[in-house]
């Protein structure tokens, strides 16, 4: 006779619960945003892995992004958020406001990332 499948929650299943939670905690720690934004922080828009635009975080402004799903990027008092997203999910708008370096707003339909970087987009200047 075929071995009956195990259909009830058993002790070993806690191993699955714990390992998934441990992995979650590990990834969370690895993704922790860095220190507070400084004056030099900038807001970068990256489309498909390539830089698209860059603004200063300390300068209040609105930017209309014209992609396959247009959206508006708002920068005010060191905070960045998205409004008026034309895509059905509008995850980017639901993300809310971001303000610290290494945090980001991601819009999958547009392949767009809005990132706060600690300093200017120039990583290294060669003279």
Partner 1 sequence: MKNTKRLALSAVLLSLALALSYLERLMPLQLILPLPGFKLGLANIVTLVALFHMGAKSAFLIVFLRCLLASVFGGGITAFLFSVTGGMLSVCIMAVSAKAPVFSVYGVSILGAAAHNTGQILAASVLMNTVRIFGYLPYLLAISVITGLLTATAASGVLKILMISAPGGKIKPSNS
| Residues 16, 86 contacting (CB under 8 angstroms) | no
* Window 27-86: residues binding partner 1 (CB under 8 A): 27-28, 30-31, 46, 48-49
Task: Specify whether the CB–CB gap between 71 and 85 falls below 8 A.
Answer: yes
Shortest CB 103 distance to partner 1, Å: 8
Answer for the pair 44, 121: CB distance below 8 angstroms, yes or no. yes
3-state SS assignment for residue 53:
strand
Q: Is 121 in the site for partner 1 (CB under 8 A)?
A: no
Stretch that binds partner 1, among 26-34, 55-63, 67-75, 76-84 (CB under 8 A): 26-34
Rounded to the nearest whole angstrom, what is the least distance from the CB of residue 127 to partner 1 in the complex?
29
Coil, strand, or helix at residue 56?
Answer: strand
Nearer to partner 1, 23 or 40 (CB): 23
Beta bridge pairs of residue 74: 62, 81
Burial of 57 (0-12, 13-18, 19+ CB in 10 A): buried
Q: Which of 79, 87, 104, 118 binds partner 1 (CB under 8 A)?
A: 104
Provide the binding-site residues for partner 1, judged by CB under 8 A. Answer: 1-10, 12-13, 15-17, 19-21, 23-25, 27-28, 30-31, 46, 48-49, 89, 91, 94-95, 102-104, 106, 108, 111, 113, 115
């Amino acid at each position: 006779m075929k071995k009956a499948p195990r259909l009830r929650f058993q002790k070993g299943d806690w191993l699955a619960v714990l390992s998934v939670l441990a992995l979650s905690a590990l990834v969370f720690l690895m993704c922790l945003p860095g220190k507070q934004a400084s004056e030099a922080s900038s807001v970068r828009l990256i489309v498909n892995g390539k830089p698209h635009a860059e603004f200063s975080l300390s300068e209040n402004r609105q930017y209309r992004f014209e992609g396959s799903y247009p959206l508006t990027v708002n920068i005010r008092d060191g905070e960045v958020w998205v409004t008026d997203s034309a895509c059905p999910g509008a995850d980017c708008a639901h993300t809310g406001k971001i303000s610290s370096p290494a945090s980001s707003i991601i819009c999958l339909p547009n392949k767009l990332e809005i990132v706060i970087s600690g300093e200017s987009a120039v990583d290294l200047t060669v003279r």
